[in-house]
Amino acid sequence: MALLRRMSVYTEHGKTKLGMMTPVKMLSTLSQDGSIAQTAKEVEDKTILMVDEAK
């Protein structure tokens, strides 16, 4: 299974931005397995929550 491995941090118009390829998007290109998609969604949601809490 492949999961999120990289996040990019950059500045745009004086604001710090964070970019990542979401696990759901990445894994949908590799597999159509529903259980993998569900796990990817959970990882994505938790990653977004961690980033939001760090702001």
Residue 25: domain span: 7-54
* Residue 40 covered by a domain: yes
* Residue 50 covered by a domain: yes
* Residue 24 covered by a domain: yes
pLDDT in tens, 23-50: 888 888 888 899 988 988 998 899 899 9
Query: Would the pTM of this model clear 0.85, i.e. be above it?
Result: no
Helix spans in 1-55 (H): 23-28, 34-54
Number of compact structural domains in the chain: 1
* Residue 2 covered by a domain: no
* Residue 27 covered by a domain: yes
* Residue 48 covered by a domain: yes
